[in-house]
Structure 1
Amino acid sequence: MHRRAVLHGITLAAGLSLLSALPAAAQTVEEIKGKGKLTVGMLVDFPPFGITNAENKPDGYDADVAKLMAKAMGLPLEIVPVTGPNRIPYLLTGKVDLLIASLGITPERAKQVAFSAPYAAIEIGVLAPEKTAIKAAADLAGKRVGVVRASTQDQAVTNAAPKEARIMRFDDDASAVQALLSGQVDSIGVSNVVAKEIKAMAPSANYEMKFVFRQQPNAVALRQGQDALMAWVNDFIGTIKKNGELNAIHKKWLGTELPEIKAP
């Protein structure tokens, strides 16, 4: 029993030591101001939301939102590059104040972090030339629709398209895009991220997203229980939506007006 008590004491002491070694986590805007800067975790390998520019600095949609947030707080901004797997751990251990890291709102993640109102969304829809008469899934009847095999787009088109649609499956995005550009297909199922790249490759074709199957809203992530900070963040997002600044960012990086984004 004595040996167990000693071991328990050692384990408890080690745990307390580990906790004390973690950075102090700011809980409010005033506490963030107290440390002199806003620290934001962001992906830098997910264009156009997160990239590294020619000056080797973080850039993209998320970076522009983070810059506006720091400006609203009256603070300098420090962007901390994160990865998909480590972004939530970075937040939970206080290495960053919050995440603006293309984090989609899901029930599983909501068990770990608190989500703000959405500020962006990945959309899955059908892209085709402006002159192509498609307004809804029913209009795909008789049309050749390209998709990447076993992708989210494949699932969405297969579930929604009428049986008269000719679904043509390709092994990767590059092949599907080339099929559209060459006229091998009339349209393709695609995300708004890839759609923006296609429009840039062939501006004269006047490609447009005909309709959207689904949205994956992205939100700012905070630690749970940061109610005051969450209220400030939501107010900030509402403000940049109303004054047009978020729409300008969306047009800059995705080439379209900011759509109506519904929280799941």
Structure 2
Amino acid sequence: MLLDSGAARLWHAGARGPCMRQGKTNVRPCLQAGRACLFAFILVAAGAAHGENRMDQIVKRGVLVVGVKTDYPPFGMLSADATLHGFEHDLAQDLAHRLGVVLHKVAVTGANRMQVLDEGRIDVMIATLGDTYERRQIADLVEPNYYSSGVTLMTRPDSKLSAWADLRGQKVCATQGSYFNRAMATRYLLDLQVFPSGRDAKLGVRDGRCAGWLFDNTAIAGDLLSSEWKGYKSTLPPQLLTPWAIAIARSEKGGALEMFIGDTVADWHRQGVLLGLEKKWQMPPSVFLAEMYALWNKKDEKGAFICRRLANGQWPLACRNPVFITSTETTGLQQWGLRLKEKTGINLTFVYDEYERDQFLRALCITLALTVSCVFGSLASGVALALAVERKILLLSRFLKGLALIGRLTPPLLQIYVLVFGIGGLLAASWGVQLNSFLVVVLCLCWYTGSCLLHILENAGDKERLRNPGFRLTFDTLRPLVSRCSTSILACLVNVTKATMMASAVAVPELLSVSTSIIAEHGAVATVMNTLMLLFLLLVFVVLRVLQWMEQRWCRGID
């Protein structure tokens, strides 16, 4: 029955199946696939009867049966002469070569690949399989991962999109059933137009019904190689990155086959085999492969690879996919953090993960530096402007008051954009001068808040002149004036503390910027944003208390 059902599926796969081509029966691939299925069925059944493990069966029969895709270029394709080839087909061939056996390939799809593996019709599956927790409950997904994919956007040749934020509120074509639709729509406020198939969604992009097609970046990369979609683009960085794994049956977990495949994938990374195949199949450079090449070639002070198997046969934690490390496999702060995640779902990666903790602490220091610079810079600029304007130097006073009026009436974020992207762009293009984003943010926020403080001090001075016509704002009269309008001044300085978050808009790596990166990596929106809110509440409270203390000390003894 198993063989009969497999043959039926081959012959009734429809016009897109391997047994049909241009509306005619395509006998050759079906006979090849049928022979492979029959061969695998008989030998696997015989091996199971003798209680052999899968590795022994493969070596004994001299054949490795691998499940691969034929509908996912450039990873798996069916050529015009019915030849199966592609990136993953080359990997399957290399596995067989290293074992010294013949390779038999079985075509699988995204819908049936797990079933084919579970039924024992293949030894190994290399079929664009994302490494997820749910799939690890069904099959043994071998580490290390050999590739990675994410969600990106395929756009028309005339598209001007440069960032995901540019898509907010726009119509985006999506494919029905894609697991990432809801997450991406929520994260970037997309207006999804869901089509029943990827083909329909791409036609929607071509017809201008949406800004782009939201889908897996590797599938889009394959489409961009075809003449039909020549000139179309995929410029946005992939999101929701998921590594890919080679899969074997769960019964083989920890066995010789898993060890062999894991060692082979590690060698592919070290030798640059995967990078070479990426160039061969004209794929865009993968950041994942570049990072893995560096990681698996890293050595310790004795010249030995850091990523080498431990005495228990496992890879070091630093070389594994961190998503699947459990609290029982580690110690210290990481163990505490993972245990908290496992029991409550609260994922504090910025506490227990060393890299993210360093990034978060650095962001906190930058935020504190921004706060101190903006608060005291605003106070100093406001007082300096007030004293300079009070000198009544005709041109200077008018110029400073006009400058302050512009600063007060212009949104500070617009000021930042004008300096960084407007004036800064001209300086970079003409003279190669790059403006420091941190300093630009401090300058703009001090200009904006200092202008508001000038307005407050001028109004306070005018009221004082109604009581005392001879009043002049000087260093001697400044203290009582500040004391009378201290509430308004404190409000402005507290506001500039909160406004420092604008720095994330020009890539200053402060708290909001790093928090957004952590959310993009792990999706822990509630945890990270609640933490960010608590930190800013604490920061604002501390700033307010410090300013109140300074006011009391400076204005002590004033009636």
Runs (5+) with no aligned partner, structure 2: 1-42, 290-319, 324-559
One-letter code aligned to 1:79? K
- More displaced stretch, 118-127 vs 88-97: 88-97
Kindly indicate whether residue 50 of structure 2 is the aligned counterpart of residue 24 of structure 1. Answer: no
Corresponding residue to 1:158 among 185, 201, 209: 185
Q: Which has the higher strand share?
A: 1
Match of 2:261 among 233, 257, 261: 233
Contact 1:127 1:208 in 2 (8 A): yes
Structure 1: runs of 5+ lacking an equivalent? 1-19
Q: Which residue of 1 aligns with 2:61?
A: 35
Larger Rg: 2
CA–CA distance in structure 2, aligned partners of residues 149 and 79 of structure 1 = 30
Paired with 1:107 and 1:248, the residues of 2 have a C-alpha distance of: 30
Query: Cα offset for 1:132?
Result: 2.5
Q: 1:102 aligns to what SS in structure 2?
A: coil
Name the CA shift for 1:101/1:204 in 2 (closer, same or farther; >3 Å).
closer
Give, in whole Å, the separation in 1 of the partners of 2:150 and 2:90: 20
Of 99-108 and 229-238, deviating more is 99-108
Instruction: Map 1:207-222 onto structure 2 (within 5 A).
Output: 207-222=233-248
1:113-152 alignment runs, 5 A limit: 113-117=139-143, 118-128=145-155, 132-135=160-163, 137-141=164-168, 145-148=172-175, 151-152=178-179
The separation in 2 between residues aligned to 1:175 and 1:93, in whole angstroms, is 33
Of Structure 1 and Structure 2, which has the larger fraction of its residues in helix? 2
The 3-state SS of whatever aligns with 2:231 is helix
The verdict on how the C-alpha distance between 1:81 and 1:226 changes in structure 2, with shifts beyond 3 A counting, is: farther
Corresponding letter in the other structure for 1:70: A
Q: CA separation in 2, counterparts of 1:175 and 1:222?
A: 34
Q: Which amino acid counterpart does residue 98 of structure 1 have in structure 2?
A: V
Task: Look up the match of 2:122.
Answer: 96
For 2:110 and 2:223, locate their aligned partners in 1 and report how far apart those are by CA, in whole Å.
22
Q: Structure 1 CA distance, aligned partners of 2:280 and 2:211?
A: 27
Percent identical: 24
TM-score (norm 1): 0.72
1:178 corresponds, among 195, 200, 203, to: 203
1:5 corresponds in structure 2 to none
Task: Please give the alpha-carbon distance, in whole angstroms, between the structure 1 residues aligned to 2:57 and 2:74.
Answer: 31
Distance in 2 (CA, whole Å) between partners of 1:88 and 1:243 is: 30
SS at match of 2:46: coil
Which deviates more, 207-216 or 170-179? 170-179
How far has the Cα of 1:38 moved from its partner?
1.7
- Separation in 1 of the partners of 2:172 and 2:44? 55
Q: Which residue of structure 2 lines up, in the alignment, with residue 169 of structure 1?
A: 193
Aligned residues between the structures: 240
Root-mean-square deviation (Å): 3.5
Corresponding residue for residue 277 of structure 2: 249
Q: 1:183 to 1:82 in 2, by over 3 A?
A: closer
What residue identity is the alignment partner of 1:247?
L
TM-superposed CA distance for 1:54, in Å, is 2.5
- Deviation at residue 48 of structure 1 after TM alignment: 4.0
